[in-house]
Structure 1
């Protein structure tokens, strides 16, 4: 008989419970005081890590149950966090979006990384480091944090778009950087590097082709089961397979995770996958940041406080100046350039990966690697503060228009149709006839497949999951049209939407007058009972056949519709009564 699983300190299960427990404490505690959890995760990591309370285990044995004293046990957790973060980054993008941003990505992004790396490397070379060591450290420290920057900024603003383009190039450049360091280091054989590059390239190509062929089929089958658990399992399976494939070929597993996200982003199921994996994204960020905090040796920081401070200030200053100057030369406003430069100044989570690679091939000794890991961890810790400082300075510089950047958006608002059955498709046809942009959402995989074949912009997703509508940018939608035949779900969705977006037009299909009254109470802008519309259409046909002029028929139909709507709202106990528009309609007809 198998023995039951027991919780024991300094075991994988014990470490898992400590890390997950710490994450569970940080999120609600810091949310209560409206403080970014980024700092909280790092502080908690410092507290429970091997250089914090974990160092006191020998003196106080019971601390072993709430701390981690083995630094080597942190590596798998940090890698898991980075893998999930890069997957979420890929989900927020797509190959189409990447292609439209190619000039920013391969222009601005390449300049920012190369110039920043060369300047940092030149400073380190001038301080007595070898050319190879200076270049390795320059490439590592020139990287910026994808996980934190994208969490802080809005990629629809000019600052966010510029940051996203640079971060994308850095993520793409990570693999070539690792190859370059391997070739430069004493442990790198040229033949091995090229063999790995060839095998890795073939693996990536196979993932791209296989993903485009099989992912739509996989997610369609998972969606037809109507099982959220199976859908989530399919999503995680794709991430695991892609990460294992790239790891087996010699590449980093984060490359596979990024590709998995990009491939899923191309399918009609991207919004649903993003919604269901959102909890994992927050957990992954927390786990990674906790491991960053655990890696900080406060005694070493204190003993070398002036060196560490000087290094942090130098790295932040060089990167901020380089990024801001490049943006300014490319025509960006001074305030926007300043804000972006400061936002992108701190090192990255991938800096730790590059430092590890450089150390393993002999380009950096272990003492130097530990020093720069401390600099990186401190830089990550103050990233939220840098973001606030950059925004404040940027607005002060652009005092004439302090808030325009935050509201900038180059995307035309579109209507969101929830439910793409008979009614939803009719609404879509009318919007298309009048050249009004829209996107449709449905939880039936077969309906989505047929709509896509017919050329409609449709995506799979359950609107009850808030993340799905957020993925479709409901905050800037021109209207939301609810056409599904699910009265209770519709009322709940209308109530949630109205609570989050007070000014959003919400038009809902109702079964009858009583259902319409409930939808108005929930916050619908318009609720259209099917029984009323069928009666009005029948009346219109009768009046026209009896010889009444079409203009007067239309006016009377509108008048009756407004009267009926007012009656519904009064019977429903709503104080606000709609203003009738029939008189103006009659005046227009008369004219």
Structure 2
């Protein structure tokens, strides 16, 4: 058994290692690379007797981890602000798609019960593929990305009532056949561990248990995370932090499963609760690698689950059903995009991104067969449609990237030419960082041109009579439309690390005469921006932290002037050492934590630096 397990693991990881870099190199994205890897090794896994479906259910834990990490990035007030899109847009999408698919299935001769079950299955989209792809392409913060995420979140919620409804659609003849098979199958004892806390409970007790579980997750996330990690920290073992983080996610997912809720939804809620925790970044760094591994293997199993024998026998039918589903869902999404005022490329991103069936479709198809709702022969075809539609999703994103987004980008260039703006200051991003910069400049009577990727921000700016472009500030054509060739200052205020770094690199290479002021998310981002050629870098929380430290000095008895002097010493020291460490950092291409030149500099100088700073501060205090 050990040799078989190692062989299977080796095969999966080897396929991913070969396929994903190739797919990324040709602009196909990592998800399509994993899917292709799964298709390639599918025969090997079947030859080895691997239960691909069981492996798929196990690796769906990657989706659970992904939603937990998304929750960590989302403040409760942000989630509350999205409530209309989550429940109204998401509810309309699930309802309209289910009814549309149901109508088509009935026209094709299916009974209404089977047609409704098919509609519910196909109403769901792939949280794993869509969220992963939106993050990879830096589109999650766009209006289309936010709308997509809102609908995906509602779909996860909708799985719960679907699981309750589907058994009510059971067909008598299928139920009889199912029981007949059970009678002759035998051998299944009733002994075993039951992890279902709501089995056999009346409705009101089920509701109470469910609410209690949700309350437990909220309370534990709010009040127990800190004490648990402080206790673990005493051991000073990195691996114990990692295992504790995984244990917490597993515990939440298990609890949600025991009360009949979606584990992904439960962990997302826990992530939102822990978003303000002091250990948020620790949790992110510990869980992210495991999330990537599980998701990668999950995508591989989707590719490997395609039954090419059955597909070959029903090629026309399956391909027609798949393409028909994609077109139907895209039409529904486009309609919703118009209703909710998604403009331009965002409407198409929303429509094409959610046009596939989702990973929960595999679960619901199996559930419908187990509950005598859908015949096994029909279920096998549905599984092919789910897998094939997921396989085609990266191609739909490529269509958006190469066919649709450039067209709207060209339209933006034409619109921009009509805007009479000769501002010498361009600001990329008008959120909580860029907005303050823009307000200060406007108050001093300096003209600015703002580029932002949010319709809401664009509408707000135009209401105040400010020059603005809607679009992705990292696109060279949009920068050209904004007048980058004539600009004196360019402010990078977007909150995507990778995109900001690439934009700084582009400016350094193509517009070196423009002074670039760049927002840095953290210290590592400072080093990345420095390596990209940017020399005016502002850490987004640095100045507020400095002001807080000054307030502490004043609170413990230092006069304002002395507090300013002490803070000035610290700032001068910190900026000097930051430049030294940044210079060392760019001497090596190693990843952040493994950068040898940087690590050596810190190791050799940290003690002397701290001693120098303490002595300088001591002298300043003695003179005050």
TM-score, scaled relative to structure 2: 0.64
For 1:30 and 1:517, how far apart are their aligned partners in 2? 37
* Cα deviation, residue 510, structure 1: 5.8
Tell me the alpha carbon deviations over residues 379-404 of structure 1, each in whole angstroms, 9 at most, x when there is no partner.
11121111121343254256421699
Matched-pair contact (CA < 8 Å) for 1:175–1:252 = yes
Contact 1:139 1:177 in 2 (8 A): yes
- The verdict on how the C-alpha distance between 1:282 and 1:494 changes in structure 2, with shifts beyond 3 A counting, is same
SS at match of 2:412: coil
Partner of residue 53, structure 1: 44
Q: Which segment is superposed worse, 189-198 or 280-289?
A: 189-198
Q: Counterparts of 1:148 and 1:40 in 2: how far apart (Å)?
A: 12
Matches within 5 A, 1:217-228: 217-223=227-233, 227-228=237-238
Cα 1:347–1:404 change in 2 (3 A) is farther
- Could you say what secondary structure the match of 1:401 adopts? helix
Of 178, 184, 205, which residue of structure 1 is paired with 2:169? 184
Match of 1:155 among 140, 152, 158: 140
Q: What is residue 433 of structure 2 aligned with on the other side?
A: 413
| Deviation of the 1:534 alpha carbon | 6.8
Q: Counterparts of 1:173 and 1:196 in 2: how far apart (Å)?
A: 17
Question: Does residue 7 in structure 1 map to residue 2 in structure 2?
Answer: yes
The residue aligned with 1:401 is 412
SS for the counterpart of 2:357 is coil
Q: Distance in 2 between matches of 1:203 and 1:404?
A: 52
Q: Deviations over 1:196-251 (max 9, x none)?
A: 55533332222222322212322344456554322222211111111222223344
Distance 1:404 1:236 in 2: 49
Q: Given that residues 311 and 375 in structure 1 are in contact (C-alpha distance below 8 angstroms), is that contact kept between their aligned partners in structure 2?
A: yes
Matches within 5 A, 1:304-319: 304-319=314-329
Alignment of 1:88-487 (within 5 A): 88-153=69-134, 154-185=139-170, 194=203, 196-223=206-233, 227-391=237-401, 392-396=403-407, 399-401=410-412, 411-413=431-433, 479-480=519-520
Cα distance in 2 between the residues matched to 1:386 and 1:32: 18
Is residue 22 from structure 1 mapped to residue 32 from structure 2 by the alignment?
no
In structure 2, C-alpha distance between the alignment counterparts of 1:70 and 1:92, rounded to whole Å: 35
2:496, 2:232 → 1: CA distance? Answer: 22
Measured after TM superposition, the shift of residue 93 of structure 1 is 3.2
Partner of 2:580: 518
Instruction: Tell me the distance in 2 between the aligned counterparts of 1:263 and 1:295.
Output: 36
Whether the aligned pair in 2 keeps the contact of 1:395 and 1:403 (CA below 8 Å) is no
Does the C-alpha gap of structure 1 residues 519 and 178 become closer, same or farther in structure 2, counting only changes over 3 Å?
same
Provide the rounded CA distance (Å) in 2 between the counterparts of 1:15 and 1:276. Answer: 26
Q: d(CA) in 1 for partners of 2:58 and 2:100?
A: 33
Shift of 1:515: 4.8
Question: CA–CA distance in 2 between the matches of 1:472 and 1:23?
Answer: 23
Shift of 1:410: 5.5
Aligned to 2:456: none
Q: Matched residues in 2 for 1:270 and 1:118: separation?
A: 41
**Residue in structure 1 matched with residue 530 of structure 2 by the alignment:** 498
Instruction: For 1:512 and 1:289, locate their aligned partners in 2 and report how far apart those are by CA, in whole Å.
Output: 45
Alpha-carbon distance change, 473 to 396 in structure 1, aligned in 2, over 3 angstroms: closer
With over 3 angstroms needed to count, the CA separation of the structure-2 counterparts of 1:337 and 1:379, relative to structure 1, is same
SS of alignment partner, residue 400 of structure 1: helix
Residues 246, 252 of structure 1: 8 Å contact kept: yes
Contact 1:494–1:519 at 8 Å: present in 2 too? no
SS in 2 for 1:388: helix
CA offsets, 1:358-389, max 9 Å, x none? Answer: 22212112221221111111111121111121
Q: Residue 121 of structure 1 contacts residue 137 of structure 1 at CA under 8 Å; is this kept in 2?
A: yes
Contact 1:334 1:398 in 2 (8 A): no
**Whole-angstrom distance in 1 between the partners of 2:575 and 2:99:** 70
- SS of the residue aligned with 2:2? coil
Once the two structures are superposed, what CA deviation does each residue of 1:42-92 show, in whole Å capped at 9, x if it has no partner?
22222322xx2345x4xxxxxx4xxx5444542443443343334334334
TM-score by length of structure 1 reads: 0.67
Q: Corresponding residue for 1:463?
A: none
- The answer as to whether partners of 1:196 and 1:251 remain within 8 angstroms in 2 is no
2:31 alignment partner in structure 1: 38
CA distance in 2, matches of 1:225, 1:216: 15
Deviating more after overlay: 510-519 vs 267-276 = 510-519
- Distance in 1 between the 2:329 and 2:574 partners? 62
Paired with 1:395 and 1:275, the residues of 2 have a C-alpha distance of: 35
Partners in 1 of 2:414 and 2:254 — Cα distance?
45
Q: In the superposition, relative to structure 1, how do residues 293 and 325 fare at CA in structure 2: closer, same or farther (>3 Å)?
A: same
Check the 8 A contact 1:414/1:478 in 2, yes or no: no
- TM-superposed CA distance for 1:149, in Å, is 1.3
Which stretch has the larger CA shift, 341-350 or 83-92?
83-92
CA distance in 2, matches of 1:149, 1:387: 9
Structure 1: unaligned runs, 5 residues or longer = 1-5, 58-63, 416-468, 483-489, 543-591
Query: Bigger CA drift: 326-335 or 279-288?
Result: 326-335
Residues in 2 aligned to 1:220 and 1:340: alpha-carbon distance in whole angstroms = 42
Change (3 A) 1:108 1:222: same
- Cα gap change, 1:503/1:340 in structure 2, threshold over 3 Å: closer, same or farther? farther
Contact map agreement 1:510 1:516 (CA 8 A) in 2: no
> The residue matched to 1:505 in structure 2 has which SS?
strand
